Chain A
Amino acid sequence: MAVLSVTPEGIYCEAGGFHIDPWRPVDRALITHGHADHARPGHRRYLCTGPAAPVIRHRLGQIDLDTMRYGEERRIDGATVSFHPAGHVPGSAQIRVAVSGEVWVVSGDYKLEPDGLCEPFEPVQADTFITECTFGLPVFTWTPQAEVAQDINRWWADTVAAGRTPILGAYSLGKAQRILTMLDAAIGPILTHGAIENTNEVLRAQGIALPATIRVTPDTDPKRHPGAVVLAPPSALGSAWANRFGATSTAFASGWMRLRGVRRRRAADRGFVISDHADWPGLNAAIRETGAERVLVTHGYTAQFRRWLETQGYDAQEVETEFEGESLETAEPDSAA
């Protein structure tokens, strides 16, 4: 019997009677992290890491939520589970499930490069590894964060010097805070959209250090914050909300910005290639380090990535899930972020 299988509700552990990141309401859900496609409402009981809990509570409201420390083991019926850092967003985890000595690891979303914000990715030995592959093609390789930070800060300074307001679009959980830590506060103040600032408050309250930010409210007068950069969710770019800033230069931060076609379709002035998902070398390194012989691939370029893994000697299979990763659709204009 397989340790984990995919049911209509989600990834299921029969021995432990629980699901991992289920997409339909279940009795007991183990949650890798707080993004909406992984932490959904309607489950009876939730279990996640301590640092992931505040955001999940903030998003889902009154839920029955229990937490574990990274590396702590817990017995759930016939299974032993533990959470291990995934490096994706603060509190994010890979979930290890052991049943009768056989170990499966569900990656959730992950990246290998330490970003200075979340707990760095730790490889976990596994017999079977269920991995995302959002960017599972060799055209996706990321430049080091420090280099992207330089580009962003230079764009900020140049835009201000040209008399415009720079507005940078980034997801409100994870990407936005990561960018906050990359910004050079010596250039000017940092204004934030409410959706991002709400997440900032949750993360600050749990002790995560973020630079000073100013929440944009209906009363905010941009002229009183000369030289500022504005951080907003992608959907706010080009919306009525952005009109208050007058002449702007818009930018978007996403792994998809690696592709010129997507960058141009976004009609933003700049695209910064920065993702909280593993790039091609990262995916390959992570899989290698698990020591797994069997790899199940979900959300992303699954068909291509599976075939590639087979050429590398893995027993690889595709599994259909309802996770979206950093979906291309959300990198497109006019769609929900």
Chain B
Amino acid sequence: MNRFAKLFAALDQTTKTNAKVTALAGYFRDAPDDDKLWTIALLSGRRPRRTVTTTSLREWAAEAARIPLWLFEECYPIVGDLAETIALILPPATRTSDRSLTHWITEIRALAARDEPARKAAILDAWDQLGSTERFLFNKLITGGFRIGVSQKLMTRALAQATGHDEAALAHRLMGDWTPDRTSFHALVEADDPAAELSRPYPFYLAYQLDTAPEDLGPVTDWLAEHKWDGIRGQLVLRGGQHFVWSRGEDLMTDRFPELAAAVDFVPPGTVIDGEILAWKDASPLSFSALQKRIGRKTVPKKLLAEAPVILKAYDLLEWQGEDLRATPLAARRTLLENLIEGLPNTAPIRLSPALDAANWRHLAQARAKSRALGAEGLMLKRKDSAYQIGRKKGDWWKWKVDPLSVDAVMIYAQQGHGRRANLFTDFTFAVWDAGNLVPFTKAYSGLTDAEFRQITQWVRKNTIDRYGPVRAVTPTYVFEIHFEGIQASPRHKSGIALRFPRIARWRHDKPIQEANTLQDLREILASYG
């Protein structure tokens, strides 16, 4: 694992993209194939299944460090990362070893079949022969979540450099349902494999939030406008008589949405459609919370299928008659898509995401303003002559979302962040007034600058009135403007409501806490938009 640890250190020690790509490319040139394959897997979110609970890891680490468990628990929020806390707290290793990354992953996975004492012995044995970085990585392999500042895109670029393959072709190859068990480095990166190609989705093209006035985009006639649907982005792949449904995060969701299987009856093989999976009844989408019930389920009970049936709201055609259309201009892809859907019966689980007619930008602005009432989050603007690109690229596709819903709330609890923001108070609970009391209704994390987080951190330290584990109650003093995308009734919460995508928009230094919103205000928003 020394080589992998060196790679990690090199990536961790720089903030410069080129240096990261160089380090990764060097690794991809020199490392053994098995390790390369696992590295690609880890950096694309394919981690081994957890075989040891974090509870056990904490106990064993505290025991090995000869400290009480409560002291370990005190360290964790300050370090901000469990794998790192364990690595820091353990006594120095008494032996050294240089087993490969693949060796350790194999060891960790083998623990699944063993009993708890055997697991403990194996983990303690591993800790005792790994250096500090290696230990941290070993723990990360167990606990998961390999966020080390390397995006899949950056990894793909490095792999392209090391192998001489085209980056876009590699990005496509790395998509889909592979795991290191079922492929090899050669098969994944080098060889032609028709079976793997059958299910493989295309890398998704992602839009940026519009950051200028729409008029700055040029004539409205250059643009295709449609609603931005509030569902799950998905690709429906039909090849060789089978169908596959992929999420943007490359999860294979085929079994979760059995309704889409009917597509095979209507749509010819050699077709890939990009669209939004929505819970849909009659002619309009159900709320996102209806869809949410479906997301967590691998198999769907009949009742739920009836309550929240899904469709694919189609907006792009990436493959037709087995041909990759991504370089074809959007307008032409769109014509093919419209023709395809026009021929489908009403019972087919695919609907067209209609293009909005507009003579000028003002018309579109009006459509955008009304979109929340239609269950949409705003508009998408796509340049008619645009190709279907890879990843997030500026210029041709824009999200033009409706203004978020907003409420002014009082901060009442604070908690330290994790990872990059460990040691700063970044996680806050906010409250609104109800009959003279402050009722908590949401948490929010993002939205302040690092300087503001530092300022609030110092303030929290001096104004703590109570502690509940890592949570601190603070003197209600500051009002924050909270933005959110949606609201729903929630009996699980004390306030009776739950927000979607809450975030801090502004620190309202100008507002005293008496002027914060009330629970009644939230109930009215719920009545209008819930």
Contacts and interface: CB of A to CB of B under 8 A. Distances in A.
Contacts of B81: 260-261
Interface stretch (A92-100, A126-134, A172-180, A262-270): A262-270
A6 interface: no
User: Interface residues of B: mostly helix, strand, loop or mixed?
Assistant: helix
B79 A261 contact: yes
B78 A137 contact: yes
B423 A260 contact: no
Contacts of B13: 269-270
A268 to B, nearest CB: 9
Interface in A278-318: 301, 304, 307-308, 311
Interface residues of A, number: 26
Interface stretch (B50-58, B63-71, B381-389, B506-514): B63-71
Instruction: List the 4 closest A-B pairs by CB distance, nearest first.
Output: A261-B422, A139-B88, A261-B80, A304-B74
24 contacts: A137-B75, A138-B65, A138-B71, A138-B89, A139-B79, A259-B84, A259-B423, A260-B81, A260-B84, A261-B80, A261-B421, A262-B422, A264-B12, A264-B149, A265-B421, A267-B15, A269-B15, A301-B74, A304-B71, A304-B74, A308-B67, A308-B71, A334-B450, A334-B451
Contacts of B70: 307
Contacts of A304: 71, 74
B419 interface: yes
B494 interface: no
A62 interface: no
Interface of B: 12-15, 65, 67-68, 70-71, 74-75, 78-81, 84-85, 88-89, 149, 418-424, 450-451, 454, 458
B454 A259 contact: no
Contacts of B78: 137, 139, 259, 301
Contact of B420 (A258, A264, A270, A334): A264
A328 B424 CA distance: 10
Contacts of B85: 139
Given A260-B79, A261-B419, A262-B423, 14 more contacts: A138-B67, A258-B88, A259-B79, A259-B423, A261-B421, A261-B423, A264-B12, A265-B450, A267-B15, A269-B14, A304-B71, A304-B74, A308-B67, A335-B454
A121 B422 CA distance: 32
- In the complex, which of the residues A138, A141, A333 has the most CB atoms of chain B within 10 Å of its own CB atom? A138
A333 B14 CA distance: 17
Contacts of B84: 259-260
A311 B68 contact: yes
Contacts of A259: 78-80, 84, 88, 422-423
A213 to B, nearest CB: 26
A201 interface: no
A311 B80 CA distance: 25
A308 B70 CA distance: 9
A263 to B, nearest CB: 8
Contacts of A258: 88
Nearest to A265: B420
A335 B419 CA distance: 20
A249 to B, nearest CB: 8
- In the complex, which of the residues B65, B88, B149, B421 has the most CB atoms of chain A within 10 Å of its own CB atom? B88
A329 B418 CA distance: 17
A140 B84 CA distance: 12
A332 interface: yes
A138 B67 CA distance: 8
A329 B458 contact: yes
A260 B12 contact: yes
Contacts of B419: 261, 264
A274 B71 CA distance: 23
B66 to A, nearest CB: 9
Nearest to A256: B423
Contacts of A311: 68
B176 to A, nearest CB: 32
Given A137-B74, A270-B13, A329 B422 contact: no
B86 to A, nearest CB: 10
B421 to A, nearest CB: 7
B394 to A, nearest CB: 24
A262 B416 CA distance: 13
A322 to B, nearest CB: 12
B421 A329 contact: no
Contacts of B423: 259, 261-262, 328
A332 B419 CA distance: 15
B67 to A, nearest CB: 5
A56 B265 CA distance: 86
Contacts of A301: 74, 78
Contacts of A333: 450
B460 to A, nearest CB: 13
B422 A334 contact: no
Nearest to B423: A328
A265 B449 CA distance: 12
Contacts of B15: 267, 269
Contacts of B420: 261, 264-265
